[in-house]
Every structure is written in C-alpha cells, then in structure tokens.
Structure 1
Amino acid sequence: MPDHAQVCVVGSANLDLVAGVARRPGPGETLLGHSYAEHPGGKGLNQAVAAARQGASTTFVGAVGADAAGERLTAVLTEAGCDVDAVLVVDTPTGRALIVVDDAGENSIVVIPGANDYCPTAHTPQGVLLVQLEVPMDVVAASVRAAKNAGCTVVLNPAPARDVPTEVLAAVDVIVPNEHEVELLGGVARLLDAGVGVVVVTRGADGAEVHRRDAAPIQIAAPAVTVVDTTGAGDTLSGTVAAALASGYDIDDAVRRGVIAGSLATTIAGAVPSIPTAAAVDALTP
C-alpha cells in the first residue's frame, strides 16, 4: 500500500469478555458456557488494527482507563503499527464488551462504554477519517467537521445504530451499515437523500451492496469460508475499506477487499486475532 495511505480512526477501545455457548440464552434463561476468553476489541480499535494490517499509516484517537486493560489495549494498537499519541488516559475504567458466541459463530454483544465516553476529537485528521457510534455523537460530529475542513474522505460505520444528525450525514462520503442498521437509519434512499455519497450495506455471508444515487446497486459476493466466530468481521470490513480508499482504490474495489477481509475474519476466534493482513486479502482478490 502506498506510503501516503493515511487513515485516522476515532472510536472505542474495549476489552472483550467472550463466553462460548452451544446456543445463546433466551430471556430469563441461564446456560452453562463451554469456554471463556478475553480479547482486545472495540469497534474503533478493531477498525484501526484492520487498517494498519492493510498497510495504511493509521492513527487511533480514543480513550482508555488508567488500568491494566487500558495498558493492554494501547499495547495492541502499538504492536499493530498504529500511532497512539492521541489516546487519552482517563480516571474511568476501560470499556468492556460482554460477548456471547454460539456454536454457529453468531454473537450477541453488550457494550459498557466506560472510558470511551471521554474519547477526544480528531482535530487534524489526514487522508481518510473512519468513525463509528460507540463514542459520544458530539465527538463524531466534531471529528467529521474537522475532516471535511481538511479535505479528508469521511467513512462512517453507524454502529451501534442510533440517530445521526443530518449535518453529519451530509458530510459522510461512505456509510457502511449492516442490513439491520440501514433499516434503523431509514433505508438506503433516505441516507442518499440526506447527502451521503455512497451507501455500502453489508450482508454477512452474502457480501455487500454498493448504492449510489441514480445508479443500480453493485453486488459484491463474499468468498465461501468456514465460520468460527463472526465477532469483529464487520469492523474488519470497515477498516479495510478505509485503508483501500486511502490508497487510491475506487469504492467498488475497496468494498471487494473489505468483503474478503471480513470473510477471512470469521474463520478465527476473537476480533483482533482474526483480522487478516493485506497479503491474505490479496491472495483471494480476483
């Protein structure tokens, strides 16, 4: 990837607490799990690691607690090659995600933001700005404004889905919701009408769709893989798309790389451990 490929990720960093179960429990039900693990995670951290593993020069802007979990997450980012100078250390516990993964590889997740509520704004982003919604909306909005003023491409992964101010949507070049999030945001047409440049709807094993104004959607197929754990697959896709855009790929090819990377991420347990390198994506790229 070219040396000028720059990605700034503003987002969350969490410690993932992962329980493995045969099936996920229903309301009021208690089940015995068969495994437990702790992994670095958080949508922001996952996406930053994904961009870095694709070869982009990646800066992570976020917040962690002054605790062992915060030190661990910062070390993971550093080891992945991310610039962590903008990571704020606060007197609030590092964020956690409680994740239940069933034997089919599907998951349910509860996020406790903790230190992520103090995530700083990216004041001087370069290249591509990638943001999600696990940090305060005012931070997202301010970072997007700074990015547009700096001439950056803005990519928004609207997860977890919640209302996004119209002025933020109007500044987004590429939005990457999954099939559930896009409906909660009012649908593809509403997002395009709000000023979003391109809507990329991810559909898991069915790949992704690329929607533009006044053009038929482009379907991007996913490679066939054996699914072990879907945790982090969407984040891997988003981070890879951002890195590809930063390196000059057009949106269709960027999404193609993202779909391949996201598919590969489902073949290994955990979020960060499963994120593939650029070479692994290249090997499956037509």
Structure 2
Amino acid sequence: MSIIIDTLRESALHIDSLLKDTSTSYMQSINVSGDTQLEIDVKVDTFLSEKLLNIPCVKAICSEEQEEMLYSAHTNAPYIIAYDPLDGSSLIDSNLSIGTIFGIYNEELNAKNLIASGYIIYGPRLEMIIAQEQALHYRYNGSIWRNLGALQLNTKGKINAPGGTQKHWENKHKAMIESLFAQGYRLRYSGGMVPDLHQILVKGGGLFSYPATSDAPNGKLRKLFEVFPFAFVYEKAGGFAINGTQRILDLEVAHLHESTPCFFGSQSEINLVREVYE
C-alpha cells in the first residue's frame, strides 16, 4: 500500500507542473461520461495510467476517462485503483482549484472492498488527503510533504455547496437548500467536487449535495471514481455520505461508470437530508 501512496505523491508534483505548462484547449474527443475532453485531461490520464500499472501490487486500474478496466502484468497482485485524473478540469481556464481523486480497492471493485482513498488538490498550495484509519492532510512545501494532522468534521457546519442546475431540482430539494440559507449557511460552490468538498472538510462542516435531477435522474457523479472515495474520506473524518436514504458505502455497483445522487456533510446536515428524502 505504501508504494501506491508514494507513487501518487510523486505524481502530484508532475501533474502540478503539467497544469502550468500544458494546453488547456478542448479536443474533439468525448469521454465515456459524455464530457468533452481537454488536452490536459488526456495527458494526465495517460501519465497516471502508466505510473499506476507499473506498481507491483496493482493488478488493474480504471479511469473516468477510459471505458474499460486496464490490467497490469501483475496478475496475482491484490489492488485495483479507480481514479478521476482531473476532477473539475473545466475550471482550469478560470484558474480555480481542481483535483485528482483516487480509491484503492482490494481484489474487487465495490464499496465494501475500498481500503484507502483520497485526493490531490492543485490550488495556491499543493495538498493531498489520504484516508486509511484517519483522513490525513498533507501539504507540499517545495521540498517535502508535511503532515498537517487528521481532518475532523464538527457536528454542524456553516457551508452550503449545492450542485446540479437549479431548474432541474425537485421541489423538496430546493426547499431544503433554501432552509439552510435561511439558517445562515454560506454559499460556497465552485463546480469542482475536490475544492468544494475539501473546503467543507477544512472548515469543519457543512453540506455538499448533488441530487437526482430531472435531467440526471441517477445523479451525475460516478460511484467508483468520485463518490465512493470521498464517502470513505468523509467517514474517516467523522462525517457522513448518503444518496438521500442510504449510506453511500453500502451501495452496489452495476458497471464502471455508474453514477448516483450524493450528499456529503456533518451529522446535522445529513440528518436534515434524511428527513427530507425519507
């Protein structure tokens, strides 16, 4: 396991430099999720796939940018890595923070076999969260990665990060979001999963929501690459992750790119979501 984490740390430095030097123009290609790819999406995905497939304990990888699982030469290795190479890449031209999300699965791709996860955030500072027994927060200072300690959510937060196009929300979801603003919650939403969920973790609590909508009845965010890894992080930080009624990490997976509605937050906010959706 440690070799995987070390490889991801090294990869973060290279990707950070790619973001500064590589074209961010759109290509003609569309990934399996229907998103038009940027040149940087493809370049980072290619780099990560080569690095991860060379790790002796990794038998396979799957990426949001690729339709099928890729297998390594290490057929008896135990781990499968699912990752989103550049979450929020459409924010690059606005110079906002984006990230890499990863989940490490033991033997099989399902939530019960997720044994570690985390993300890298490319912002004013290069940071990384690694969740195993705890959600540990690291920052690169130009020469080494410093451990800033474990992230821990409070019982109640102050941030409201609502995803999805508002005109496609259900009335009950709209009423719930408005009720949080009426309580004094602050709107903090960039359109990037990594920076928005990271802010809630660092600030101590709140709610990130991406519900089922009329144009995306199964939600938009992918289970294996985005939702499961963040659910694992949030639970290790004392928070919660549900699809409205069920714990995220109790959900099954039918195919690699399956999506789900999702709500991440501290106890008070997730209790509210359960009341609304149950």
Q: What TM-score range do you get, normalising by the shorter chain?
A: under 0.3
TM, length-normalised to structure 2: 0.27
Q: Greater strand share, 1 or 2?
A: 2
Q: Which structure has the higher relative contact order (CA within 8 Å, separation 6+)?
A: 1
Q: TM-score, normalised by structure 1?
A: 0.27
